[in-house]
Chain A
Amino acid sequence: MSPQMIDRLWQAAFDTLFMVGVSAGIAVLAGIPLALFLVTSGLGGIFPAPRANRLVGLVVNGFRAVPFIVLLVALIPFTRLVVGTTIGVWAAIVPLAVSATPFFARIAEVSLREVDPGLIEAAQSIGCRRRHILLHVLLPEALPGIVGGFTITVVSMIGASAVAGAVGAGGLGDVAIRYGYQRFDTTVMSVVIAILIVLVCLVQFTGDTVVRRLRAR
């Protein structure tokens, strides 16, 4: 491989990490409140609002139904509105975050639902207000599951970021397609795949370690 190609790979790896990192951060910030809403606003929840709950549930399903490459294109007007451009890394971050948020919210929702209702009852019995229940019961008790779900989200985002090249955002997937596939450069293809495997393994290992530490308590 030429020195330029090595530079290109470095840049691509950085772009992938940056895109996935920023959108994963957004997915956490938006996804956890969304998951909390989905769990607590149902009938019999601590913030009952069944209609809004159904509506939000539908919207979440809608976003989950759209394949990422389609979402990327369909969101172009929205992306322009938010980041002022439709090409480059930032133009990929918007659809990545929009796609990851409902995905992560659904996974976090499952963990939050598994919190023993007896714990919520106990919290109410000691005079916890609803926000205390979110802060002291639901989130900490569901945390291992949420971290595990976040790991899954990040891994699937690394995969999704491969199509970000469609809006000129670069990244490892883009290099693999343009150099490895279109120019028949098997070495580049192999190196990119190796980097992606290492990346995914690192993410999974880190996630698993954190979950194990949390569960050991």
Chain B
Amino acid sequence: MVGLALDGFGAVSPAASIAVGPQALSAAQTIAGTGGTGTVRFDRVCKTYRSAGGEVRALDDVSLDIPPGAIFGIIGRSGAGKSTLLRTVNRLEEPSSGRVLVDGEPIAALGTDGLVGLRRRIGMIFQHFNLLSAKTVRQNVALPLTVAGVEKREIARRVEEALRLVGLEGKAETYPSRLSGGQKQRVGIARALVSDPEILLCDEATSALDPETTLSILGLLRDINRRLGLTIILITHEMSVIREICTDVVVLEAGKVAEAGPVWRVFGAPEHPATRALLAPLTRDVPDDLAARLRPHSVPGGMAVLRITYSGAMPPDLSALVAATGGAVNLLQAGVERIQGHAVGGMLVAVGGPDAEARLRAIGQDVEGIGYVAADD
């Protein structure tokens, strides 16, 4: 599972690292000639709204590359511009300036027919599902094909296939009001996938769902990404969603890109305060009882309390810790996760022996001294 994600990511990361600039744009345009693969490029995208209180900059000079086959997460606090950014991909929002390119093609130039064609290549799912209440599940899922003038038997076949993909075979004749939230989102996914898109946009697709259903929908999205190879762009305000399925992530703060990169790197070594704030629910702080006993200076016979952080570069090799300190190592608290094959997280340890912090630093550990505890505590 992890290996697959890593392979997928490894294959696309060169494209992701292309610097945004005129040269990169021409490179993308040549790719477009070979047919749609599901790449999206934001090139200095700005969006300004005029409101009663003056101008609001929803997006401020956003440049990003989304490689084909990625599960690309856009995260930020509410009002950070996530939704606006996502909606520029299928032109539900028009940028005030800058360009959005899908498969290398600038989409601002498309006329009505071109835009309809583009939208048929880009599926979208929504927080509140946005299913038509007057239509059955089958009619909802069939709608993209019906309006595209696809032949009836072909529609029936593809709707059947899409419903099977999302696990709703038996619900075709049901009306959406009789479905649970998770089932509604599955219908939304089937509707988005029935026209065989190369990109899937997810607008807070799991925010209205309970944790268990969220996991099952995320699992479905991951499965779809693998089986169909389509690019998924999702926005969320929950880091746990990003951690669960994304390969790459961008953190938006007040319409600007605060931080972007592979998920393991952003999670392992968050640089921007906005990223840290979003990660806060997932990180463990020093427990209160321990914090109360911490002393600022070392005590004879006591132990140093250290925070060791793993940001993906260094494997969490416990025997190396013990060997380097040459004394007791007590694990107080730890949380290390494997994200895309990288160990990310950290732990609190109480270490005996002199100069433990310096010794660990010497073997390349990312160490931070928190304080000291007396031995009799």
Closest to A124 in B: B92
| Chain B residues with CB under 8 A of A125 | 90, 92, 119, 122-124, 201
Please tell me if the beta carbons of B143 and A136 are within 8 angstroms of each other in the complex: yes
Closest to B192 in A: A126
Please tell me if the beta carbons of B130 and A121 are within 8 angstroms of each other in the complex: yes
| B359 interface residue per 8 A CB criterion | no
| Chain A residues with CB under 8 A of B144 | 126-127
Listed from nearest, the 10 A-B pairs whose CB atoms lie closest are: A122-B130, A140-B134, A126-B144, A125-B124, A127-B120, A127-B119, A217-B175, A118-B130, A132-B147, A127-B116
Closest to B147 in A: A132
Please tell me if the beta carbons of A140 and B192 are within 8 angstroms of each other in the complex: no
A122-B124, A124-B119, A217-B133 are known contacts; what are 7 more A-B pairs with Cβ within 8 Å? A118-B128, A126-B123, A126-B124, A126-B143, A128-B147, A136-B135, A141-B134
Q: How far is the CB of B292 from chain A (nearest CB, A)?
A: 50
A66 CA / B195 CA spacing, docked (Å)? 52
Please tell me if the beta carbons of B130 and A116 are within 8 angstroms of each other in the complex: yes
| B51 interface residue per 8 A CB criterion | no
Please tell me if the beta carbons of A119 and B130 are within 8 angstroms of each other in the complex: yes
| Chain B residues with CB under 8 A of A127 | 116-117, 119-120, 144, 147-148, 195
Contact with B along A113-146 (1 / 0, CB 8 A): 0001011011111111100100011001101000
A136 CA / B191 CA spacing, docked (Å)? 14
Q: How far is the CB of A131 from chain B (nearest CB, A)?
A: 9
Contact with A along B69-99 (1 / 0, CB 8 A): 0000000000000000000001010000000
| Chain B residues with CB under 8 A of A128 | 143, 147
Residues of B within 8 A of A (CB): 90, 92, 112, 116-117, 119-120, 122-124, 126, 128, 130-135, 143-144, 146-148, 175, 177, 191-192, 195, 201
| 25 A-B pairs (CB sep. < 8 Å) | A122-B124, A122-B130, A122-B131, A125-B90, A125-B92, A126-B119, A126-B123, A126-B147, A126-B192, A126-B195, A127-B116, A127-B117, A127-B120, A127-B144, A128-B143, A128-B147, A129-B112, A129-B116, A137-B132, A140-B132, A141-B133, A141-B134, A143-B134, A217-B133, A217-B134
Q: Given A126, A137, A217, which contacts B191 in the complex, CB threshold below 8 Å?
A: A126
Contact with B along A19-60 (1 / 0, CB 8 A): 000000000000000000000000000000000000000000
The secondary-structure label for the interface of chain A is: helix
| Chain A residues with CB under 8 A of B177 | 217
| Chain A residues with CB under 8 A of B148 | 127
Q: How far is the CB of B147 from chain A (nearest CB, A)?
A: 4
B119, B122, B195 — which one has the most chain A CB atoms within 10 A of its CB?
B119
A121 CA / B127 CA spacing, docked (Å)? 12
| Chain B residues with CB under 8 A of A119 | 130, 132
A119 CA / B119 CA spacing, docked (Å)? 15
| Chain A residues with CB under 8 A of B126 | 118, 121-122
| Chain B residues with CB under 8 A of A121 | 92, 126, 130
Closest to B113 in A: A129
Closest to B188 in A: A122
| Chain B residues with CB under 8 A of A217 | 133-134, 175, 177
A122, A123, A214, A217 — which one has the most chain B CB atoms within 10 A of its CB?
A122
A16 CA / B133 CA spacing, docked (Å)? 37
Please tell me if the beta carbons of B92 and A136 are within 8 angstroms of each other in the complex: no
Q: How far is the CB of B131 from chain A (nearest CB, A)?
A: 8
Q: How far is the CB of A34 from chain B (nearest CB, A)?
A: 22
A124 CA / B201 CA spacing, docked (Å)? 13
A16 CA / B90 CA spacing, docked (Å)? 54
A103 CA / B9 CA spacing, docked (Å)? 61
| Chain A residues with CB under 8 A of B131 | 122
A122 CA / B130 CA spacing, docked (Å)? 6
| Chain B residues with CB under 8 A of A140 | 132, 134-135
| Chain B residues with CB under 8 A of A143 | 134
| Chain A residues with CB under 8 A of B120 | 126-127
A137 CA / B130 CA spacing, docked (Å)? 11
| Chain B residues with CB under 8 A of A122 | 124, 126, 130-131
Closest to A139 in B: B134
Closest to B148 in A: A127
Q: How far is the CB of B253 from chain A (nearest CB, A)?
A: 25
Closest to B116 in A: A127
A214 CA / B112 CA spacing, docked (Å)? 34
Using A118-B126, A118-B128, A119-B130 as known contacts, say yes or no to A129 and B175 having CB atoms under 8 A apart: no
Please tell me if the beta carbons of B119 and A136 are within 8 angstroms of each other in the complex: no
Closest to A116 in B: B130
| Chain B residues with CB under 8 A of A116 | 128, 130
A141 CA / B134 CA spacing, docked (Å)? 6
| Chain A residues with CB under 8 A of B128 | 116, 118
| Chain A residues with CB under 8 A of B116 | 127, 129
